[in-house]
Every structure is written in structure tokens, then in C-alpha cells.
Structure 1
Amino acid sequence: MQPATSTRRPLFAGLFRHARRLTSDGGKLSPTGRRRRTGSDPRAVVLSTLPAELWIKVFEHIPNYLLLSVTLTCRAFRALAQPLLFASISTHPEERKPSPGVLRVAGQTARYRKRVNERTAFFFSPQICHAVRVCRISLPLPEDECDGDDLVDHIFAMLPHLPNLRALECRHIRLTPLRLHVLRRLELPTMSFDLCFGNMADLAGMPSMPLREVTFKYSDASIAGQASPCPVFLSPDHLETLHATTTRVLDSLASSRVPFTRLRTLELPGECLASRHFIAALARCPEVENIALHATDYLPQANFTLPDGVLPHLRSYRGPHHFAAAFLRHRTAEKLEVSVPCRPASLESSLAKLYGQHDSLSGASNTLRSLSFPLTSADIPAPLLGTIHVAFPMLSALAIPDPALSSSEIKALLNAVPAHYALTDLTLRIQGRDKFNLWIPPAEAAADAASCFGKVRLSLVKTYPSIRHVRFLYGSEGASLHWERSQTSGLFVQVGQ
């Protein structure tokens, strides 16, 4: 019986007991991946086991809060799983809020500085540094407002001691020449900057860093009057993925002498549609395949149009449904993800522009493979789902994360629409007992979801004969159940949560 203070989780107890037998003799992992029983026992057998490399791949999919349980299973697992606990580190802990009436600037107290120094010494120690893959330097306040300049300089000086570092996230730090020199020496593929600024004289004329993925978390109001750091980190010859929440990035893209021919994924705020540099910036990114627009408080009119020669290889769009046709028309549209809940009638009007109801727009009925959208209504209208079935016969994946439906509503919906013979993946949200504002134990909520699947299974197979994967979302904490259908027997098996 486990002691009361044990951190093990019942969900993994059976797996760990079985894994202990497969991987260890007294907790020692077999170097050959096998364990042999020897001696006079006539039942001596040889057990094939998983090599250490595969166990590491398994552990990478376990949440961090459960990894401690893995390390306590046996000595073999402890050696394999412990480094994953420090794969992502943060040099600055979250600063506790001061008591009411106490005036104190976060980050200036000696106690907080001591905590940062202790964390840095631990993470950069020889025993830990090799495990670090992602490092986050996040000051609780902008560096101009807290006494942390020498502390941050010390952390930057220690970054080269992380030999396996792959990504760096910076927040509220100054981009000084010394720190930029350190970043250039690191040669990292991924960097993220959140409200990090520098002097115009320090950034002017500096060559861009060869980054493959860059994230800029700035608002236009925060960067107004500041030197834009974007040109320093955008390399036309290396950049593959760009995430930005500011329109200032458009200036850097549009003014580049060399096109960004490696850029494949572009994520921008919705305000970019109203910028005079937007089309020019997109024209410098001819190979972009995936574009996403953040939904913001301000969006331009839905009559935005994209010239035919811009983004000729675009395959995927994520954002408000109003602009889906503007980006995907006359292109081989394969994926459409609506990120903002919308009214069914408004969504149907936008989809009509994709499947060629309007003569001026070419249809995407034979190319769209994946469609996802949330609705603001209390149900999914059968005419809307029927239109999707008819308009997109090659659709293979459909996800409707909202609204939540009961088993009877799902059955009625599926029985009212024509069959779709190409769909293989379906995601729906089901309505549980939590709709009565009750807290339902996770095990009972999962059982309710499984019961709902049993009630609608026949209707699912009738409407979607080629269905292979079904996922039901439930609860307010993002829980889900996943079923997979065997291609030989046609039976569904629950494969995960």
C-alpha cells in the first residue's frame, strides 16, 4: 500500500508495474533491451523489452506534473525521466503580490534576487544544464522599472553553458548590444520576444539572425515610439515560421530586399488587414502555405480582397470566417479553421463563397480536407451540416467544438442529413451533467461520455460509413475521449483521453 504522501497516480500505476517487469532486474535496465530468466526453473523465458530510446519517447508525451511519478517507479525510469523535468526552465519565479497597502516594486527585494540566483545556479549546474531545451527569461516588470540589469546580464552570459538549448523566450528585457551578441553566438532556431525593446542606435544596421521560428508579442500601442526589433530577427534565407501580434512586422517584411522564400507559416493580428503594407508584405512571402489571423477588437470590413498573384501556394487558413474566401479563393484550399464562434447563417454564407455558389469565386469543393468551426447557437442546425456534406464531398476531418449536444440531439442531427462517404475524423462536444453547474468526478464524466458514444455509434456509422476516428469533448476543463475504428472488424476501440 502506498504511503499517504506518495505522488504516484492511479492512472499510471498498472503501466509502471508492468514496465518495471519489462525493463528491470532490480530496477536496472537491460542494455540489450531483453531480460532472461536463468537457472533450474524449466519455465525460463526471454522477454522482449522496449529499449531506452523508446521509453524516452513515451515519457515525452506525459505531462510534467506526472513525470515525478515516473521517476519514482524504478531506477531505470528515474535515469530516463528526470532530465525531462528540466527540459523547460524559467530563470525568474513568479513574484508574489504585495499585501494591500504595501508599496513594493517586484524584483527589487533582496529576497527575490536571491531566489533568482539560486534558480540560475541550479539550472546551469553540470548535472542539469544538459537537459535544458527551452529557457524562459521573464522579468516580473520591465527592466527599466526593476533593479535587475546585472542579474539579467549574468544569465545571458551563462546561456552558452546550456549545450542542448533549442529555444529562448524573453520578456521585459532590454536588447543591449552585449545581449544581442550572446544571442547571435547561440545560433538557436527558435526565439520569442515579449515587450523587449532596445535603442535605435544599437539595432540600426545590425544583420539579421538566422532564426527559423520567431514570435513577437507586442501590441501596436506598446511599440509606438520604440525602435522595432523585428528586422534583427527576421532572416529571409532562414525564417520558416513567424508569429506576431503587432502590425510593425509588416514594415520589415515589405521592405526586405530579398523575399522570404523559406517562410511557410505566418500568424498575424487582424489589424494587419487595414495596413497599407499588408499586401506588399505578403508579396515578399511567396511560399507561405498556412496563414492565421488573431481575432482582435478591431477588424476591417469583410470586403477585403487578396490579389490572385499573392500567396499562390496557400493551403490553410485560421481566423474569423469572414475572410476565409478572400484568402482561399482561386487556391488549393485544404484546411479551414474558424477561430471565432459565429452564427450558423453567417458561417453558411461564408462557406457558400468557397464551394462556388458565386460565379466570381472559384469553388474549393474538391480540395477542402479539414474543416473546424465553433457556433454561438445552442445547437447545430441540420441544414448547415447538410450543406457541408453536399458542398465538400472530399472532406475527411470535421470538428465542431461548440455547442455541446446531448446523445438524442446528436442522433437527431445525424439522421436528418445525407450520408458523407469520405469523412474519417469527427470531433464533437457532448453535453454532460455539468450543465446543471454540478461538479462531476472525472471518472464519472468519462463514463457519461462513453455511454453517449454507445448511444450514437450506429447513427455515426450510418451517416459516415468511412469513419475511423471519433473524439468527444466534454466538461469545462478540456477533457476528451477518443475512439478508433478497426479497418478489419469495423469495431470501435477507445484508445485515449
Structure 2
Amino acid sequence: MVVETPDLPTTERTDRERTFADVAETPRNGSTLPFPVELLRMIFSHILHGSRIEESPKRTLEDLTLTCKVFYHLAQPFLFDSCTLSISCTWQRVPPEGTVYPSYADSFLWDIRPLSTQEAEKTLRKLDFIGQERIASGVHRCLLAPLAYPRHWTELIDRRQEDTHERIIVDRFFYDLVPKLANLKALELIHVTLGLRHLCLLQDVCTHLHSLTSETCFLLEDEAGEEMPLEDHSRMCIILPFEHLVYKEKPVYPGIRKTYLPLPDPSHVKSLSCHLYSYELSSDRRSREQDLLFQLTALAKFTSLRSLDITIWPYGTTYDWRQFIFSHCGSIENLSIQKRTDANLDPVAPRGLPPLKLFRGMWDDISLYALQQGGLRHLVVTGKRAEAPGDRLWDRPSLRDSEVLIALNNWTEGFASLESLELKIGGTSGEDIIVPLLGCCPRLRALKLMGERTIPNAVLLLSSAFVAVASSPNMEYFSLPRYSIMSGDRTLLNLMISALSVPLRTQCPNLRYVHYELLEISLVLEGSVEIPDARSCNVQFDPSDGRILPDERRIEDWRNSV
């Protein structure tokens, strides 16, 4: 890649040392052509992040650098605003013939292997290049991870005893590069082996670090010891003053290495997200969830914590996290948690449990965590809890309309303050539940209903749903499940949207976004047989003027704006 080439001519090495503003006024053909720096920043930001459709937006920027020397120098800090350094490599091993995996499992085994000598040298050259003062000062996000690392939830195999290449790269990163990253905001470490000196250096240098993501990281064997007591483990987990911590742990076999558990500064951290796999262990060993809960409880109160996300795969949480929330998280506002089916929790929440603004979890768990305190404003329902103790989180059954209506009637006061609701219901068409739901949630401003199957007769059912939502003058965001329609009815559907925009505009003056997914079916003649051909698309429009909107808007963005 052009921008990573370290061997540049002498004149280019001289230009490379100039500041951003100096290069912006580089003479061209005997005259000075000033480049508005802020305008260029906006252009580069749009190229890098503005297009979700383009496969490689960075390639467009790299092509620009080939056409203009000024752009070449201006582009480099933007290209390395977010940088990735490879420390090892993953590869998929073909399973033995005849191996049968469950439907949720990965059909290939993922192995972690050391980098080759050539791969390691490439990473070190990139590390040296980023270490230049002009480039390093523009780095805001940095990722250390294996090449081709699987982001989805899967099991890993790591039989490495000593990875010399990884240790050299990690040492060079922390000792040589980290002290130069004065503007580093976010650091992500994936499958990295860390030592005490690495963590101490990170604490001393990265004073502006806002977020840390640690996924399946390990401690150096010579520093971890055979059995590490709590106080020594806490010493290894150097307290960093970051505002956001994401801790993930995938299952790794053979599982003999000591994992790194980052502990946040309780007085500084604002959001804490923990996603880990908890094995079924014998009674004489603590599970990963129990160990996590024990470590966090041993810390002081989380006086700045606003958001807590606890996800335990594959069955859900076993322990009552409400006690920890009650004793340590008095300022919490957002909670995401999914309870295990056979976990025995007191149906009465601890007295003094802080009221939540947002809860994300199973429908069965809302009353345990969020309703008894009152004041809940935003609710995201991920489904219904699994029925059998051995069922996993993805084995959950469908949530029915009747179950939702029963809970709404039983907890009228708990839902009275609700402003947004994201709900997944099996097989719902929407119109049967909207009116009673709005009656129990008079302050509702955003509603997103999701179904598990395609609903036929789109024109009739959609019109009924739109008429139902017109009874809520506070509505601002409205999203419905997938509907199917024959291709010949598309014109009729467009006319219906235009006609219903009038009452929606009159009765819901704040409604600016209506969305549904449409499966358009047409019959294709192959020989003498008509075969259905389906094409899916998202339809979103603004009822204030009936205008079709080009882009889908997420309910998360709406929540963040209020």
C-alpha cells in the first residue's frame, strides 16, 4: 500500500515531517494553493466513514493520494486514524469426515498459530511507520489482534507454548509506540498475552484513553503463577482511568493459560460490558460468571457507572446480579442482562434498587430487574426465556401476543413511563397488539415490532396497523415486521401509503419515520411451470409529506437523540 512505504525519496521524507497546516499550503507551479484544513478533514471523514455501500472506502482515499502529492501527505494521518496490528494468525481446520455439529456451531475449527517470519516483519515495519510523530499524533483507535480473527461467537484452539513473534510485537507496541500515541482514545486487545509492565506503561502514558476492549487476553505465565489469589490478580489488572470497558472471553482449548480480567476504576468508568462463556464446572470450582461477580464486588462502589451489560453464554446468568447493582451501582441507568432458566431469583427486587431508564433482556425478566422501581423509559425485548434448564439462549421459544398483553395489564404502572419499545413477537401482524399496547403506554414515542415469519396480505394488514398507530399523538418512530405482497399489488400499496399519510400527519404531528420490510413476490414462468421469485426490501417514509426515505433509521439512534 502506497501510504505504508517507508523508503521514500529525500524530498518526500522532508515534506513528511511538516505539520498538517504547512502541507496544506504546499506551492504548486510557483503559486500557493491553500487547502482549507477543516474542509479537507470533512472530505476525508466522509470518504472513510460516510459510505456503507462501498466495499473499501479507504481504497478511494488511497487512489486520491496517487494523483496529488499534497493529498498524499494529508491523507496519511486520516488513513491511520484507526490502525490494526497483527500479532498472530487464525486459520480454519477442516473437521474429520463424518463430524456432525449442532446448527448453532461453527462447522470449522479455528486454530491460533504464530505469524510467519515475513508476516511478523510486515507488522513491525507498519509499527515503525505509525511511530512517526506526524502519523502517531493522529491515531485515535488501535487494534492488536490475530489475522483473520473470527468476530462471531466460536471456539478457538490455541496450543502454542511460546510465540516469540507475538512477544516481540507486543513489547515493541507498548514500549516504543504507546508513548507516542498522545491522542489515543480507544484500544482494543484481542488474544494478546500481556505482562505487568505492559499494563503499568499503559496506565502511565494513555491519560486520554476513553475505552478499552479486552477479548480473550492472557497473562504471561512467568508473572501469573500457578494459582493467583485475588489480591495478586487485582495487582495484575492495573487500574486504568477509561470511561468504557468491554470485556469478552471466548472458549479457548486446551484452556491452560491464565486469562486477563481487566478491572475498571470504579470512580471513573461510565459503561461496563462483560460477555463471556461460562463452562459447566464441578461444584468445587468457581464458574467464570462467579469469578467475575466476585472480582467486581471486591471493588469500591461504581459512582460514575451508567450502563451495565452482562451476557453469559450459552445459558444466561446464574447469579443474582441485583445485589451487586444495589450495593455498588447506585447511579446505573441502563441494564442489559439475560437470566438462566433454572436460576432461582427472588421475585421481589431488593429494596432500594436504582430505577432504570433502559432495560434490554428477556420478556420474562422485565419484572425482576426493571418494573418494580418504576420510571422505565426504554425497553428492548430480545425474546422469551428458554423453557428447559439445558436450553441455550438461542433456543428460546416465540413470544406470543397474549403473553405481552397479560404482562401489560398486570404491570400498568411499570409501563406508564415507557417512551420507546423494541419488541420481537413470533408471527405477529402488529395491528392486534398496537391499540392495547398504546393504551398501557400512554407516553410511548417510538415503537419497533419484529416478527419471526413473513406476514401475508400486506396492503390490508399494514393499513390496519397505520390506523391503529394514528391513535397515539406522541408517536415519532414506528417500525413494523416483514410483510409479503404480490408484485402486482405494489401500486395499490403506494396509493395506500399516500392516503394514510394524511390522517397520520394530522393525528401524529411528530411522526417522521415509518418503516416496514417488504417481501415482493412475483411468478416467473420456467417452461410450463410458474415458480415464485421473492425480492426483499426495506420501505421507509415520512408521513408528514408521504416522501419515501432512502436510508433506514435505527431506533438506537432515536433513543440516543432524546
Fold match, TM over 0.5?
A: yes
**1:470 and 1:449, CA in 2 relative to 1: closer, same or farther beyond 3 A?**
farther
1:349 aligned to 385, 403, 426, which one?
403
Q: Secondary structure at the match of 1:92?
A: strand
How far apart are residue 299 of structure 1 and its match? 3.5
How far apart are residue 333 of structure 1 and its match? 0.8
Give the partner amino acid of 2:515: R
Q: Report the equivalent of 2:153.
A: none
CA contact (8 A) 1:92 1:138 kept: yes
How far apart are residue 387 of structure 1 and its match? 1.9
Q: Report the equivalent of 1:153.
A: 171
* Cα distance in 1 between the residues matched to 2:34 and 2:551: 29
| Residues 86-108 of structure 1 deviation map (CA, whole Å, 9 limit, x = unaligned) | 3322201783638879xx97215
CA contact (8 A) 1:137 1:171 kept: yes
* Cα distance in 1 between the residues matched to 2:196 and 2:348: 40
How far apart are residue 320 of structure 1 and its match? 1.3
**1:416 and 1:397, CA in 2 relative to 1: closer, same or farther beyond 3 A?**
closer
Q: Secondary structure at the match of 1:69?
A: helix
How far apart are residue 485 of structure 1 and its match? 4.9
Give the partner amino acid of 2:463: K
Any stretches of 5+ residues in structure 1 without a counterpart? 1-24, 34-49, 437-447
How far apart are residue 85 of structure 1 and its match? 3.2
How far apart are residue 424 of structure 1 and its match? 1.3
* Cα distance in 1 between the residues matched to 2:463 and 2:235: 64
Q: Secondary structure at the match of 1:168?
A: strand
CA contact (8 A) 1:429 1:472 kept: yes
| Residues 423-463 of structure 1 deviation map (CA, whole Å, 9 limit, x = unaligned) | 11112344468x99xxxxxxxxxxx9999565434336546
* Cα distance in 2 between the residues matched to 1:253 and 1:425: 38
Give the partner amino acid of 1:388: L
Q: Secondary structure at the match of 2:212?
A: strand
**1:94 and 1:352, CA in 2 relative to 1: closer, same or farther beyond 3 A?**
farther
1:165 aligned to 174, 181, 184, which one?
184
CA contact (8 A) 2:210 2:243 kept: yes
Q: Is structure 2 residue 321 aligned with structure 1 residue 266?
A: no
Q: Is structure 2 residue 266 aligned with structure 1 residue 214?
A: no
Q: Secondary structure at the match of 2:499?
A: helix
CA contact (8 A) 1:407 1:430 kept: no
Q: Report the equivalent of 1:335.
A: 378
Residues 448-487 of structure 1 aligned to structure 2 (within 5 Å): 455-459=496-500, 462=503, 465-466=508-509, 467-473=511-517, 480=538, 482-486=540-544
Residues 346-385 of structure 1 aligned to structure 2 (within 5 Å): 346=400, 348-350=402-404, 352-353=406-407, 355=408, 357-358=409-410, 361=411, 363-377=413-427, 379-385=428-434
Residues 187-226 of structure 1 aligned to structure 2 (within 5 Å): 187=207, 188-198=209-219, 199=224, 200=228, 203-205=233-235, 208-218=239-249
How far apart are residue 495 of structure 1 and its match? 5.2
1:394 aligned to 428, 437, 443, which one?
443
CA contact (8 A) 1:336 1:371 kept: yes
**1:220 and 1:348, CA in 2 relative to 1: closer, same or farther beyond 3 A?**
farther
How far apart are residue 149 of structure 1 and its match? 1.7
Deviates more, 1:393-402 or 1:341-350: 341-350
Give the partner amino acid of 2:549: Q
CA contact (8 A) 2:90 2:146 kept: no
Give the partner amino acid of 1:385: I
CA contact (8 A) 2:274 2:310 kept: yes
Q: Is structure 2 residue 88 aligned with structure 1 residue 69?
A: no
Q: Report the equivalent of 1:275.
A: 319
Q: Secondary structure at the match of 1:363?
A: helix
Q: Report the equivalent of 2:154.
A: none
Give the partner amino acid of 2:497: V
* Cα distance in 1 between the residues matched to 2:255 and 2:62: 48
Give the partner amino acid of 1:62: S
**1:220 and 1:481, CA in 2 relative to 1: closer, same or farther beyond 3 A?**
same
* Cα distance in 2 between the residues matched to 1:373 and 1:162: 43
Q: Is structure 2 residue 521 aligned with structure 1 residue 492?
A: no
Q: Report the equivalent of 1:123.
A: 130
Q: Secondary structure at the match of 1:233?
A: coil
Aligned length: 430
Residues 30-49 of structure 1 aligned to structure 2 (within 5 Å): none
TM-score of the pair, normalised by structure 1: 0.72
Q: Secondary structure at the match of 1:386?
A: helix
How far apart are residue 62 of structure 1 and its match? 3.4
Q: Report the equivalent of 2:107.
A: none
Q: Secondary structure at the match of 1:131?
A: coil
Give the partner amino acid of 1:160: P
| Residues 146-203 of structure 1 deviation map (CA, whole Å, 9 limit, x = unaligned) | 3322222122222222232111111222231111112212232211111113213763
**1:449 and 1:367, CA in 2 relative to 1: closer, same or farther beyond 3 A?**
farther
Q: Secondary structure at the match of 2:414?
A: coil
| Residues 111-145 of structure 1 deviation map (CA, whole Å, 9 limit, x = unaligned) | 33233223323433445333322111113675746
Q: Is structure 2 residue 127 aligned with structure 1 residue 85?
A: no
* Cα distance in 2 between the residues matched to 1:182 and 1:144: 25
Q: Report the equivalent of 1:443.
A: none
CA contact (8 A) 1:195 1:222 kept: no
Q: Secondary structure at the match of 1:374?
A: strand
Q: Secondary structure at the match of 1:95?
A: strand
Q: Report the equivalent of 1:44.
A: none
* Cα distance in 2 between the residues matched to 1:366 and 1:215: 32
> Going by fraction, where is strand more abundant, 1 or 2?
2
Any stretches of 5+ residues in structure 2 without a counterpart? 1-27, 96-110, 148-156, 277-288, 385-395, 520-533, 553-562
| Residues 251-304 of structure 1 deviation map (CA, whole Å, 9 limit, x = unaligned) | 233222x31110000000256743156513442101100001258xx4345965
Q: Report the equivalent of 1:419.
A: 471
- Aligned-residue identity in percent: 17
**1:413 and 1:491, CA in 2 relative to 1: closer, same or farther beyond 3 A?**
closer
CA contact (8 A) 2:399 2:424 kept: no
CA contact (8 A) 1:135 1:167 kept: yes
Give the partner amino acid of 1:176: G
* Cα distance in 2 between the residues matched to 1:429 and 1:107: 46
**1:485 and 1:100, CA in 2 relative to 1: closer, same or farther beyond 3 A?**
closer
